[in-house]
Amino acid sequence: MIMIELYLTSGLMMMLGVYCVAMKPNLIKKIIGLAIFTDAIHLLLITIGSRENGIPPIITPENVNTFSQFSVDPVPQALVLTSIVISLSITALALCIAIIAYRHFKTLDTEKMSDLRG
Amino acid sequence: MMKRNIVVGVCMVMIFSFMLYVFMFPGFGEWDNKSVAEHYIQNSLKETNSANVVGSIVWDFRSFDTLGEETVLFTAAMGIFSLVMFGLGKGEGK
Amino acid sequence: MDVIVKTTVKGLFPFILLFGVYIILHGHLTPGGSFPGGTMVVVGITLVALAFGLRKAERIIKEETAHIIEGTMASFLIFLVIFETFFRSVLTPSGTIFNLWSAQQVLLLNVFGGIMVTMALTVIVFLLIKE
C-alpha cells in the first residue's frame, strides 16, 4: 500500500479523459480529453518505478557513496521525456486539422458534421 | 443515445478495474529484478562524467531513441507547414 | 493589447530567455536538458508574438531562417550520434566531475538538441498564429 493516492489519481484522470472524448460534442473538447488521457498514462509509468524513502536520481557532492541504495528508477523517466514531446506534436497536428474542418463545415459540432453529408 | 451511454459506462468500469489489477500485482517499491537500472545507476559516473543519470541515459546509453523523437518533431513541423499552405493557397504556394 | 500587458512582457522577456539558456547549458548537472529548456525559450518568443503582434516578433527571428537552421541541426545531430557510437574515443569525458565543462558528450548534444527544439517549436507557433 505504497502511495495509493497516485494510482487513484491516475485512474481518475484516465476515466475523465475517456469520458471527454466519447461524450462531448465539441471538437476542441475532444482534443483536450486526449491530452488528459495521455498525461494520466505518463503519471502511471513514473509511479511504477519508485520506492519508499526515495530520492531523485541526481548525484550531488553529499550523496556520492550512498546513492545507489535510495534512488528511484531512472529508466521510465527517460522514456516519458520522449513521450511528452510526441504528445505535443499530436496535439498541434490535431488542432491544425480542426481549423481546416471548421473552414469546410462552418461549424465545430460533430453531430451536425455527420448530418450534413458534404 | 442509450447505446452510447452503455458503451461509455462499460469502458470506464473496465479502466477502473485495470487500475486495481495494476495496483495489486507486484509488490511496489521492491527491487527484485531491475538489472538494467542497477547497471545504469552504478556506471553513470564512471563511463560518462555526468552527474545527471537521466541525462546520460537519454543522450549516451540510449541515444537512438532520442534521434527517433527528433525525427517525429521535425515531421510534425513539416506537416503543419504543408497543411497551412494547403489551406491558404489551395495546394499552391512555397 | 493593453499598456499593462505590453509593459509586463517588455520587462519579463530577457529573464525568461536567460533562464531557458541556463537550463539548457546545465543539463548534465541539474534536471533539465534540451527539451524543457527549449520549451522555455519558445514561451518567451510566444509571449512577444501575442502581445506585440507578429511583425515585432519577426524582428527576433524570421520564419524562413528558422526553417533553414532546423534542417541543418537535424542532419548535424544524426551525423553526430552515428559518429559517437563508432568513434567514442575522440570525445572521451574529461575534466573534474561537478564542473560546467565535464561531460562533453552530454553537454554538446544538449546544446544542439536545444537549438533544434527551439527552431521547430517556433515554426509551429508562427504558423498557427498566421493560421
Q: What is the ipTM of this complex?
A: 0.85
The answer to whether the Cβ–Cβ distance between A81 and C30 falls below 8 Å is: no
The answer to whether the Cβ–Cβ distance between C124 and A92 falls below 8 Å is: yes
C-alpha cell at position A86: 510526441
CA angle A70, A72, A73 (to 5 degrees): 135
**Residue B17: band (very low, low, confident or very high) from pLDDT cuts 50, 70, 90:** confident
Architecture of the domain defined by A4-55+71-116: Orthogonal Bundle (1.10)
Q: Give the pLDDT of residue C96.
A: 66
Question: Measured between alpha carbons, how far is A72 from A74 in angstroms, rounded to an integer?
Answer: 6
Length of chain C: 131
CB contact C40 to B (< 8 Å): no
Residues of A within an 8 Å Cβ radius of C: 56, 58, 61, 81, 84-85, 92, 95-96, 99
The answer to whether the Cβ–Cβ distance between C28 and B67 falls below 8 Å is: no
Query: B interface mutation test: which of C23, C25, C26, C28 has the most B CBs within 10 A?
Result: C28
Q: Answer whether residue B1 shows pLDDT above 80.
A: no
Q: Give the pLDDT of residue B30.
A: 62
CA angle A70, B20, B36 (to 5 degrees): 35
Answer whether A95's CB lies under 8 Å from A29's CB: no
Span of A87-91, B1-5, B77-81, C19-23 with lowest mean pLDDT? B1-5
Nearest by CB: B73 against C109, C117, C128: C117
Q: What percent of chain A has pLDDT over 90?
A: 40
Q: What does the DSSP assignment read for A29-86?
A: HHHHHHHHHHHHHHHHHHHHT--TT-B-SB--SSSSSSHHHHB---HHHHHHHHHHHH
What do you get for the CA distance between the two ends of chain A, in Å? 55
The model's pLDDT over A2-48, given as tens digits with 9 standing for 90+, comes to: 677 888 888 888 888 988 888 889 999 999 999 999 999 999 888 88
The answer to whether the Cβ–Cβ distance between B63 and C106 falls below 8 Å is: no
Q: Answer whether residue B94 shows pLDDT above 60.
A: no
Comparison of pLDDT for A79 and C83, the residue scoring more: A79
